[in-house]
Structure 1
Amino acid sequence: MDGSASSSFLRRAASRAGRVLAMLSVAMLPVHGARAQDSAKGRVSTIRDTEIEALLRDYTRPILKSAGLAQQNVEVVLINQRSFNAFVADGRRIFVNTGALIESKTPNQIIGVLAHETGHIAGGHLARMREQLAGAQTMAIVAMLLAGAGVAAGAATGVSGNGLSGAAAAGMSAPQEMIRRSLLSYQRGEEQAADRSAVKYLNATHQSSKGMLETFERFQNDQLFISQRIDPYLLSHPMARERIAALEQLAKESPYYNTKDPADLQARHDLMRAKLIAFTERSDAVARQYPMSDNSLAAQYARAISAYRFGNVNGAVAQIDALIAKQPNNPYFYELKGQALLESGRAKDALAPLRKAVDMTGGAPLIRTMLGQAMVQSGSTSNPDEAIRELIQATQRDPDSAGAWRSLSIAYGRKGDLANADLAAANGSFAQGDFKSGRELAARARQRFPQGSPGWLKADDLVNFKPPAGADKGGRPNGG
């Protein structure tokens, strides 16, 4: 090849390698990776709930501590997907599908999943996978250059497509498949490493690994009818039977293998599952899973939520009052009562139970936001300033709550403070990832504030903020 031809070939090879890398990236990602991407694009929603988030923090706190991640502020994000799944997409968030929580009958089962995902973070698997992908790109370019040289040699000698050049052309696709299989093999190794780390963390926290094995047994049953048609070398995760075989002896050697979850933790887990089912399923589905013959607290919780969701607010409030009578120190029963009243247009009636829930949770920002919304909607002339105080505290602790910012904007508007109303609305848009609208609202707020004032500076920060490519709502400035 002369210099120009060689340069042209390199450009084509690099371009094709880029396409191969994209293919490898998709093939390498397990099913949950696509869901994480969809979530970032807004096609899959996240769920926020104080009760569930508090429970998940209690599940992860000892695991993160044993993994040396206690200071990393790792949070668990709940994805509204019914399939059983969990994944990590960066070093500070574990994503869990609602289906994983609903299908986990015991705390230990979901704690095992969280321990596995913690193993990925602590092991730096995401960073190493990026290195593997970068290496794959180089390998793909080299492989295609070598195969291309074979094509050129065949053409120069006049060998037909069935000879040397044909073999070399076929060879251009073979390295791609080898690289893809190599990456998938690498990821399967990372999954096995995360499994072993999970067992180590569970042992360190005196918890059982039995829940992990029970989860893998569920996966094995799901794979039973399709395993004969699966090429295990084209999977990003080991087959469930392989994971069970690799972990069963290790798990059973632990002195904590038969350790049971504490009764109070199991009770909270049951309430969490009932809440998710009641909020995500149709009323008939809730009734089938929690029939009237079931007198457990979780079943009563589910039926009360379902009643409020499907229009029987008075019946729901009566059922919630019965729950409160049984557990007067449970703040989430008061929260549910306030939510049912607020969303049925009885904002004034919602104030008392929401105040109680805020006090009992130490000012949980999501509940405080609901209290501020009730104050705004109640229409009382004495409430704007109080609502503003509550909502400012909520946004300080949870600056990514778009609902809190919207309610704060309304409260400022009712007070006639249009500058702060626009600034709050701008923060709400940024919290949703709508940077264009956020900058427009911030520009309007900046015009209303005296130049150089604190409000003007906050608005100016938002106007001049340039989010990095692909940034989500977590990468915004502090304009609050």
Structure 2
Amino acid sequence: MMLLTSLDNPPLRRSQAKHRPAGAGRHAMRAATLLLLAGALATPPALAPFAFAPLAGAQESGRRNPTVIRDAEIENLLRDYMRPIWKAAGLTQQNLRVVIISDPSFNAFVMDGKRIFVNTGALASSETPNEIIGVLAHETGHIAGGHLARMRQEMENAQTMAIIGTLLAAGGVAAGAAGGANMGGAAAALAGPQEIARRSVLSYARAQEQAADRSAISYLAATKQSPVGMLKTFERMQNDQIFISQRVDPYVLSHPMARERVAALEDLVAKSPYRDIKDSPELQARHEMMRAKLVGFSMPPDAVARRYPPSNTSLPARYARAISAYRYGAVPDAIRQIDALIAVQPNNPYFHELKGQALLEAGRPREAIAPLRRAEQLSGGAPLIRTLLGQALVAANDKSSVDDAVRELTFGVQREPESAAAWRFLAQAYGQKGDLPNADLASAQSALLSGDVQLARELAARARQTFAYGSPGWLKADDIVNVKPPKKKPGRPTP
């Protein structure tokens, strides 16, 4: 099941200070304040998360609300890729996960110590598992090295240095203003500390990128994997930079130029005893199925046909065409193609899942239940598949299966508590069962996760009235009732 959802980034906080200087330095201090505010508002995107791509900021087109893809098959594959790497990095106890972002560009980045974000473009364009493993190993290096926390501290230090430097410069400007000095030179003097601080932070970021590269190589060596895929990725970036490298100042980038990274990696790769190790055929086959799935879900039929023409009878090609057929309304033809896939691999849970999803979205939920039950069995109870099964049971609106729906969806929200859709389906299941207090409580959870705090509190208050005082349901409802709405985002400061 491939789902799209939105991931909201928390708003950036900007402190504002009011200055009321008097006397001859009034205009100079106002100029200093203007520059400080401009510096705070013009922080380059590269200073935010650690991104793998050297010239692309982290999700420039979707920075505020990036679209997240949830898919049991792809997530399971990425966990298998990263489990050895995370063990080598000593991070097995941190419950790391890879989050998939719907974006065609080749990029991966980290924004906290729990999640690695990777674009669908990176997954779809990587030709081997080794290539994407190298990318994610690099991001793991950032987490293991504590680079995010250290970068925040470095930025705070740089901001302090800039403020001190600006204030010192402002004193000189004030004296110059009293004596009729040129204000253009004064502005340049005030801007200097900001630029020095910015370059200091960028230099620090480049050093951490190089450290993450070295860490990635060490993780690959510890897991007896080749670093060639990682090198190949940087070589691709180097080729992309050929036409722009002459116009880029390397000292204003948060990442080293690709040519520098390639040169550093070539020596390490040559020394690796595992450089000639290839990915296993089984892992390569799963990788090709992932790429086909992404193409089938993300591209229009004509693009899918060009990528996987009918003459291509490989399993990935057939997978992509079956997905495309179901997405664009040819459900009978899609079911025929999916059944042919199942005939080849009857124990592949994701083929059964795809059939169930196609039938459910075609308005045939009763028919979707059997393949989804089979997918659940074959996947060992994957939470996303169990949630989809619960959704089909709710849509079937059969009183004899409502308890099954509640059970499947309860499991789903226990494993995926941040899924607003799963809570919504659970509320429907409770409604069909006639359990209105739990229906209200589940609806409140869904509303809260969707950002509608007022509605969540109203639903929780109604649920709280019907639960016994102090019971688990009452406590959960009371927690939601007492949630404080988020503060209104501050507007752009006006000097």
Q: Same fold (TM over 0.5)?
A: yes
Match of 1:134 among 156, 161, 167: 156
Cα distance 1:436–1:203, how it changes in 2: closer, same or farther (>3 A)?
Answer: farther
The equivalent residue for 1:115 is: 137
Q: 1:470 to 1:301 in 2, by over 3 A?
A: farther
1:246-279 alpha-carbon deviations (Å, 9 max, x no partner): 1111122100011100100000000001001100
Instruction: Supply the distance in 2 between the matched residues of 1:119 and 1:27 (Cα, whole angstroms).
Output: 18
Partner of 1:255: 273
Cα shift at 1:458: 1.1
Gapped regions of structure 2 (runs ≥ 5): 1-19, 490-495
SS in 2 for 1:48: strand
Given candidates 88, 99, 109, the residue that maps to 2:110 is: 88
Matched residue SS, 2:92 = coil
Asked whether the equivalents of residues 58 and 109 of structure 2 are also in contact (C-alpha less than 8 Å), the reply is no
Instruction: Return the alpha-carbon distance in structure 2 between the equivalents of residues 7 and 325 of structure 1.
Output: 82
CA 1:27 to 1:305, structure 2 compared with 1: closer, same or farther past 3 Å? Answer: closer
Aligned to 2:480: 462
Give the conservation status (yes or no) of the 8 Å contact 1:21–1:137: no
Identity fraction in percent: 62
What is aligned with 1:475?
A: none
Quick check: 1:337 aligned with 2:355?
yes
Partner Cα distance (1:170, 1:127) in 2: 32
User: Of 186, 198, 209, which aligns to 2:216?
Assistant: 198
**Kept after mapping to 1: 8 A contact 2:46/2:58:** no
Query: Deviations 1:280-316 (Å, cap 9, x if unpaired)?
Result: 1001100110111111110011011111111111111
Counterparts of 1:440 and 1:6 in 2: how far apart (Å)? 57
Q: Deviations for 1:196-227, whole angstroms, at most 9, x for unmatched residues? A: 11000000000011111111111112111111
Structure 2 residue corresponding to 1:318, chosen from 331, 336, 344: 336
Q: Distance in 2 between matches of 1:242 and 1:410?
A: 56
SS in 1 for 2:225: coil
Could you tell me which of 445, 462, 465 is aligned with 1:427? 445
Cα distance in 2 between the residues matched to 1:204 and 1:27: 31
CA positional deviation for 1:440:
2.6
Alpha carbons of 1:27 and 1:101: their partners in 2 closer, same or farther (altered >3 Å)?
closer
1:400 is displaced (CA, Å) by 1.4
Give yes or no for contact 1:33–1:87 (8 Å, CA) kept in 2. no
1:103 and 2:125 are equivalent in the alignment: yes
Q: Partner of 1:17 in structure 2?
A: 36
CA shift digits 1:328-373 (9 cap, x unpaired): 1111111011111111111111111100111111211111011111
Pair 1:278 & 2:296 matched: yes
Whether the 8 Å contact between 1:274 and 1:301 is mirrored in structure 2 is: yes
Indicate the residue corresponding to 1:291 in structure 2: 309
**SS of residue matched to 2:324:** helix
Secondary structure class of the residue paired with 2:275: coil
Residue 411 (str. 1) matches residue 411 (str. 2): no
Counterpart residue number, 2:413: 395
Cα distance, 1:193 vs. partner? 0.8
**Cα distance in 1 for residues equivalent to 2:277 and 2:23:** 69
Q: Which amino acid aligns with 1:59?
A: Y
- 321, 324, 338: which is aligned to 1:306? 324
CA distance in 1, matches of 2:461, 2:421: 21
Give TM-score scaled by structure 1 length. 0.91
Q: Is the 8 A contact 1:32 1:86 kept in 2?
A: no
Q: Do the aligned residues in 2 keep the contact of 1:20 with 1:140 (CA within 8 Å)?
A: no
Matched residue SS, 1:96: strand
CA gap 1:6/1:374 in 2 versus in 1, 3 angstroms: farther
Structure 1 gap segments, 5+ residues each: 472-480
Query: Which amino acid in structure 2 is aligned with residue 110 of structure 1?
Result: I
Q: How far, CA to CA, are the matches of 1:402 and 1:130 in structure 2?
A: 31
Q: Does 1:160 align with 2:184?
A: no
Cross-structure match for 1:35: 59
User: In 2, are the aligned partners of 1:334 and 1:353 still within 8 Å (CA)?
Assistant: yes
Structure 1 stretch 398-407 or stretch 274-283: which is displaced more?
398-407
Q: CA deviation at 1:92?
A: 0.5
- 2:248 pairs with 1:230: yes
- Give how far 1:451 is off: 3.1
Distance 1:152 1:459, change over 3 A: same
Q: Is the 8 A contact 1:14 1:141 kept in 2?
A: no
* Kept in 1: contact 2:366–2:393 (CA 8 A): yes
Q: Deviations over 1:31-76 (max 9, x none)?
A: 765528945x43x210000000000101111111101111000111
| TM-score normalised over the length of structure 2 | 0.88
Higher helix share: 1
Q: Which amino acid aligns with 2:217?
A: V
Q: What are the Cα deviations for residues 137-192 of structure 1, in whole angstroms up to 9, with x where unaligned? A: 11111111121121122234x2531xxx6534321112212221221111111111
- The Cα offsets for residues 371-418 of structure 1, whole Å up to 9 and x where unpaired, read as 111111112220111111111111111111222111111111112211
Q: Which amino acid aligns with 1:442?
A: A
Tell me the matched-pair count: 464
Q: Measure, in 1, the Cα distance between the counterparts of 2:448 and 2:62.
A: 19
Higher relative contact order (CA 8 A, sep 6+): 2
SS in 2 for 1:94: strand
Structure 2 Cα separation of the partners of residues 275 and 310 of structure 1 = 15
Q: Structure 2 counterpart of 1:24, which letter?
A: T
- The residue number in structure 1 matching 2:12 is none
Alignment of 1:172 onto 2:190: yes
> Conserved in 1, the CA contact under 8 Å of 2:32 and 2:190?
no
Alpha-carbon distance in structure 1 between the residues aligned to 2:272 and 2:442: 53
Query: Which amino acid counterpart does residue 380 of structure 2 have in structure 1?
Result: G
SS at match of 1:334: helix
Q: Relative to structure 1, is the Cα distance of residues 417 and 167 closer, same or farther in structure 2, using a 3 angstrom cutoff?
A: same
Alignment partner of 2:468: what SS?
coil
Q: Does 1:220 align with 2:238?
A: yes
Q: Find the partner of 1:61 among 80, 83, 89.
A: 83
CA distance in 2, matches of 1:225, 1:126: 31
Q: Which moved more, 1:451-460 or 1:362-371?
A: 451-460
